[in-house]
Structure 1
Amino acid sequence: MEHKNTSKLKKNKCQNIDKAMRIQEVIERVAISRSKIYDLSNKNLFPKPFKVKGTKMVRWRESEIQNWLEAQYDE
């Protein structure tokens, strides 16, 4: 019985994990150039990327990109 509850908890935690988007995916989603994305991000006008631990790669959280897009339509 306890085993089933544990697997349910694990499943729920996985559902809350954001997709880590690559720059090309972000460009396609928001229709803004790579340089403009970094420019806006440096000015705190666009979500900042995070570094993937142990690598030189950066990614964006899908939920942050979606929230940013929705905020653009709210204005």
Structure 2
Amino acid sequence: MNTIRKHLVSIDPVIAPPQPAMTPEPRVRSMRILRLPDVIDRVGLQKTQIYDLMKRQLFPQAMKLSVRAVGWFEHEIDAYLTARAAQREAVSMGQNVGANVGANHGRA
């Protein structure tokens, strides 16, 4: 009888204990909308700078919410900030390498 129970547990999902998923859960993007004061607070730029960057396609585009209201997806603002931080790191690494090369230039 014990072997029958073991066999049933291995094939019956009702009896079998749940197994962990083999693939990770997909990451759900935040659908939260940020209004202009929140965006200004998050990115540290003023309204005119934000709209100038949007015009040059260097900032996430605002979404029209109503006749007189716009907003930005929170995940797009977060991605913008993450990209800016990565850009800063890349520039910083390049400047450090350039500074080291320039400091030794002409020396034996």
Q: What is the TM-score with the length of structure 2 in the denominator?
A: 0.52
> Does structure 1 conserve the Cα–Cα contact (< 8 Å) formed by 2:30 and 2:74?
no
Deviations 1:23-70 (A, max 9, x none): 000000000011000000010000000011x53211000000000000
Could you say which structure has the larger radius of gyration? 2
In structure 1, runs of 5+ residues without a counterpart are 1-14
What is the distance in 1 between the residues matched to 2:30 and 2:51? 24
The 5-angstrom pairing of residues 60-71 of structure 1 reads: 60-71=72-83
In structure 2, runs of 5+ residues without a counterpart are 1-27, 88-108
1:22 aligns with 2:22: no
Structure 1 vs Structure 2: percent identity of aligned residues?
A: 33
SS in 2 for 1:46: coil
The 5-angstrom pairing of residues 6-21 of structure 1 reads: 16-21=29-34
Greater than 2 Å deviation, 4+ residue runs: none
What is the distance in 1 between the residues matched to 2:73 and 2:56? 18
Give aligned pairs, total: 60
Q: What is the TM-score with the length of structure 1 in the denominator?
A: 0.73
What is the distance in 2 between the residues matched to 1:19 and 1:49? 13
Greater per-residue helix proportion = 1
Greater RCO structure (CA 8 Å; 6+ sep): 1
